[in-house]
Amino acid sequence: NSNLTIKDMSSSNLHKSLIQKRQLSMPPRPKKASSSQHSSAPSSAMPAPHHRRHTTSSSLSSEKLTSLFSETLPTTNDDGNEQKCPDWSDYFDERGMLENKWRYYISHPTRAKRNTTEHSIDNQTEIKSNQDTLGSNKPTGSTCIDPFTTSTATTSTPTIRPRQHVLVLLHGGGLTSLSWALFVKAFRTIHPAAPVSKHVQIVALDLRDHGQSFDSDNLSMDHFTADVDHILHSLYRDEWKNTSFVLCGHSLGGAIAVHTAHKLQHKCSAVIVLDVVEGTALQALPFMKQVIANRPQKFRNLPDAITWCLSNVTQSVESAHISFPSQLIKDPNHGFYSWRTDLAKSSKYWHEWYQSLSDKFLRVPAPKLLILANKDRLDKALTIGEMQGKFQLKVVYASGHYVHEDNPAQCASSVAQFMSRFLRIGSHNTP
């Protein structure tokens, strides 16, 4: 303002007027909820209370979300029943239950003729409906067909066998395989991933006591690693000699990927870790019980849960719709939703999950990629290792701890370029 004097500018008047002008131009700030209802920390996919950038979606009410995203947001139909979120079949080609214990999802190298099926590996042969009961995330009865068959009850197609490389996706603590849904979609569709996409099969696993896999009180790293090793041997037993695995994990899943790489040895062709570092994880452990306690213990309905998810977990509306409901279970009597996985009971394993993780990561003989939301999260060992060229580092900015949900396109592109470069996937001599 040209009418302002030097005296006015040197006083606090100018500062106050600017603040008032800014407040008038800004939308009203939402009321702050009590700590018993909401938490500003992420939903503990790893023991680290990373601060995240809130988006405008955090101020949206359930009603506004319903009007803005009516095609996908769960609402109530004419019968008073809740409609479903986006289905798993929008992202994967098939899913199954292994030995009635572990849920897994598969995306085949080619999606030209999609024919989603659901099956399980047991002692019987039958194909079930691919429809799922909303909120029912506990394991159910299972049937059996070949894990690489894409047939239905009325038609059958040739068996699709795994290619040379299988990308194994391992989710973080409290999450499920569906947290990778947008990553898989991006990996299959974005241009940089196209050559790799033609030669890579993707399998995503629900860890024990997560998602639709079996309940367990033992969440030790040895059991997680043994589970992954057993699942891969079971799914790819007929092609084991010709198959190698790229282990890709987020947070806790990243730690499991590193430990499993040492168990698989030469069968592991690469390791990819998303946003987990030993130093920052161990430093955060003393605060994690409070972080978990501050989360809502239950939600009235899925719109309320998704609203909270968009404020505290991921910036992606689509990912919140497909991933977050799978992390909850619905009370059959009262209708509210609560957490599928009780992270607090796993606290005795937290230190074991991340102890010596950096050293184990650096000692993996296969090519390694570390994807972080912020380079400042590197600890000393990884900082030195990165300068020595022991692994490739990729920073995905403008995202929180859930980098593969906040920015799936950039994560998928980074993984595809890494696999093309170090594994020569997509080259003319790739099987």
Q: Mind telling me the catalytic residues? A: 251, 275, 401
Give the DSSP per-residue string, 98-157: ETTTEEEEEE-S--SS---EEEEESSS---B-S---TT--S--------TT----SS---
Q: Tokens 């992954």 identify what position?
A: 228
- Beta strand 94-98 with 102-107 is antiparallel
- Beta strand 165-170 with 200-205 is parallel
From residue 319, give the alpha-carbon distance in Å to each of 51, 104, 133, 336: 19, 18, 19, 21
Q: Which residues contact 32 (CB under 8 A, 6 or more apart)?
A: none
Q: Both tokens of residue 14?
A: 């100018």
Residue 253: name the closest of 278, 224, 282 by CA: 224
Give the DSSP per-residue string, 39-105: -SS---SSS--------GGGG--HHHHHHHTTTTS--B-TTSPBPP---GGGT-SEEEEETTTEEEE
Cβ atoms of residues 249 and 255 within 8 Å = yes
Say how many C-beta atoms besides its own lie within 10 A of residue 384's C-beta.
Answer: 13
Say how many C-beta atoms besides its own lie within 10 A of residue 242's C-beta.
Answer: 12
Cβ atoms of residues 139 and 95 within 8 Å = no
Instruction: Provide the 3-class DSSP secondary structure of residue 179.
Output: helix
Cβ atoms of residues 272 and 253 within 8 Å = no
Q: Which residues contact 192 (CB under 8 A, 6 or more apart)?
A: 413, 416, 417
- Beta strand 337-339 with 328-330 is antiparallel
Q: Both tokens of residue 152?
A: 């239905």
Instruction: Provide the 3-class DSSP secondary structure of residue 410.
Output: helix
Q: Both tokens of residue 307?
A: 């609203």
Residue type, 26: M
Q: In this structure, is the dihedral angle defined by the CA atoms of residues 237, 243, 244 and 246, taken in order, positive or negative?
A: negative
What is the rounded CA–CA span in Å between residue 25 and residue 19? Answer: 10
